[in-house]
Chain A
Amino acid sequence: MSTSLASRVTGAELPLPYRVIARHADTDDTVTLELAYETAPLPAFAPGQFAMLTAYGIGEVPISLSGLPAPHETARRLTHTLRAVGAVTRALHAAGPGTVIGVRGPFGTTWDVPSAAGHDVVVVAGGIGLAPVRPIVQAVLAERDRYGEVVLLVGARTPADLLYRDDLDRWAAAGVQVGVTVDRPAEGWNGHVGVVPALVASARFRPGRSVGFVCGPEVMMRFTARALTDRGVPASRVRVSLERNMRCGAGWCGHCQLGPLLLCRDGPVVDYARAEPLLDVREL
């Protein structure tokens, strides 16, 4: 490798090899992978940022950070949760411990969790959208005294599709207001049935002193952001995570353009005051 090329290999342009050191099956089609670097670590990721994960010989996909390292673990381990929906994600889903995959990143804006200090924290997630907000809850609980009420509202298609059930139980036991709802209940389900924005109305938080973090299908985010702003949370303090066709990760290729934003660089996390008018724009 020439010096000039080596100096450019920062992990933004070329994928660095990471080894799968743990694989946890969250649901039938969703896994969480723990990754450790092989040759050199990438810069530290913050909640909200994403990596481009490469299944060698198949392709590359953007996947958000889905966990913070425990205090005793090296900060350079990465946690990513992904759902098998296409060729690349199916290959990554099948990657067992020992498999080497490529990683570029970190990319994009963060949830900026520290800026919510002194406020109530209202996290709303739909489907696999729980993965990118999981680090928010972990970060808040790691410095619990800095925040007010912590609310986590989760929507899933069925009870079998719920991610991180152990975390949800643990967080509830730690005092987080956890509300879980499903679209289609199964036998024995005793929780909420309905859409997750409907849970916003009865959650306990101070609207004027809250920050909202919302992640999930875009329609779900629109309705949730409206439910939060209807309660009185300022749109500028509601953050959503937007996704388009992320490719380069650095704002060069333009594939992820949404109006004036290049979401790989200016997103994925955008405040709703800025995002709202863009979400109504029809795509070509």
Chain B
Amino acid sequence: MTAPLLTRVARLPFASGFEPAQLRRLCATGRSAAYRPGERIFTEGGAADRFWLIENGRVALDLRVPGRGDQVIETLATGAVLGWSWLHPPYRWQFGCETRGPVDTVMFDAAAVRELCDADPAFGYAMLRRFVPVITGRLHATRLRLLDLYAAPAAKARP
């Protein structure tokens, strides 16, 4: 991957609507990070000290269940934001994450981004406006899955 980091980040949906100066400041806290297939990116309960924009590939969020191993909750693919536990104390990952094949990302230093947010409320608000849709989108998806839409309908209601 040879394009400058700023150019690569600007191509991702997350960057849409950022002012160029804000994006430059954000990218100053980031660097490229590539992962091998099956590599664990973070572990449940670990320090949430970074977040990622997935440029290519797919990762699985998982939860360790006694007797059942790591249960996959959801997968995230190209263009997705990975990680928001860095946004709020206690800055610990609520889930684990492992790659599903080779994954290219831009990885950001969470502490540095929090400092930027604290120092510049406009920047902090811009970040919030990008993270809130990510969070609500995942919440909506989770609620949809709670409905178990593909389950067999009640027999009495079906011919």
A residues near B, CB below 8 A?
A: 29, 59-61, 83, 85-89, 126-128, 155-157, 161, 181, 183, 185, 189-195, 197-199, 201-202, 216-217, 219-220, 223
Task: State the interface size on chain B (CB cutoff 8 A).
Answer: 28
Residues of B within 8 A of A223 (CB): 140, 144
CB of B72 within 8 Å of the partner chain? yes
Residues of B within 8 A of A194 (CB): 74-75, 141, 145
Contact A192 B152 (CB under 8 A): no
A181 vs B144: C-alpha distance when bound (angstroms):
14
A127 vs B58: C-alpha distance when bound (angstroms):
23
CB of B158 within 8 Å of the partner chain? yes
Contact B78 A202 (CB under 8 A): yes
Of all chain A residues, which has the CB nearest B77?
Answer: A202
Please give the distance in Å from A55's CB to the nearest CB on chain B.
10
**What sequence of 0s and 1s flags, for each residue 48-80 of chain B, a beta carbon within 8 Å of any chain A beta carbon?**
000000000010100000000000111101111
Of all chain B residues, which has the CB nearest A156?
Answer: B150
Contact B75 A192 (CB under 8 A): yes
> If A127-B149, A161-B150, A220-B149 touch, does A195 touch B141 (CB 8 Å cutoff)?
yes
Contact A217 B140 (CB under 8 A): no
CB of B19 within 8 Å of the partner chain? no
Contact of B144 among A29, A59, A195 (CB under 8 A): A195
Interchain residue pairs with CB less than 8 A apart (20): A61-B159, A85-B155, A86-B159, A89-B159, A127-B149, A128-B150, A156-B150, A157-B148, A157-B150, A190-B100, A191-B75, A194-B145, A195-B145, A197-B141, A201-B13, A202-B77, A216-B149, A217-B149, A220-B144, A223-B140
A86 vs B153: C-alpha distance when bound (angstroms):
9
**What sequence of 0s and 1s flags, for each residue 115-159 of chain B, a beta carbon within 8 Å of any chain A beta carbon?**
000000000000000000000010011001101111111010111
Contact A193 B148 (CB under 8 A): no
A31 vs B150: C-alpha distance when bound (angstroms):
16
Residues of B within 8 A of A193 (CB): 60, 72-75
Contact B72 A88 (CB under 8 A): no
A189 vs B150: C-alpha distance when bound (angstroms):
18
The count of A-to-B residue pairs whose CB atoms sit within 8 angstroms is 73
Of all chain A residues, which has the CB nearest B74?
Answer: A194
Q: Would you list the 7 A-B pairs with minimal beta carbon distance, nearest first?
A: A86-B158, A127-B150, A157-B150, A217-B149, A85-B158, A88-B159, A193-B75
Residues of B within 8 A of A60 (CB): 159
Of all chain B residues, which has the CB nearest A220?
Answer: B149
Please give the distance in Å from A15's CB to the nearest CB on chain B.
14
Residues of B within 8 A of A29 (CB): 152
- Not counting A85-B158, A202-B78, a sample of 6 additional A-B residue pairs whose C-beta atoms are within 8 angstroms of each other reads A157-B151, A161-B150, A193-B60, A193-B73, A194-B141, A217-B149
Contact B159 A59 (CB under 8 A): yes
Residues of A within 8 A of B158 (CB): 85-86, 89
Residue in A59, A156, A191, A193 whose Cβ sees the most chain B Cβ within 10 Å: A193
Residue in B58, B72, B149, B151 whose Cβ sees the most chain A Cβ within 10 Å: B149
Interface residues of B in 1-29 (CB under 8 A from A): 13
Of all chain B residues, which has the CB nearest A227?
Answer: B137
Residues of A within 8 A of B155 (CB): 85-86
Please give the distance in Å from B105's CB to the nearest CB on chain A.
14
Residue in B13, B77, B148 whose Cβ sees the most chain A Cβ within 10 Å: B77
Contact B75 A83 (CB under 8 A): no
> If A192-B77, A193-B73, A193-B74 touch, does A217 touch B150 (CB 8 Å cutoff)?
yes
Please give the distance in Å from A126's CB to the nearest CB on chain B.
6
A90 vs B79: C-alpha distance when bound (angstroms):
43
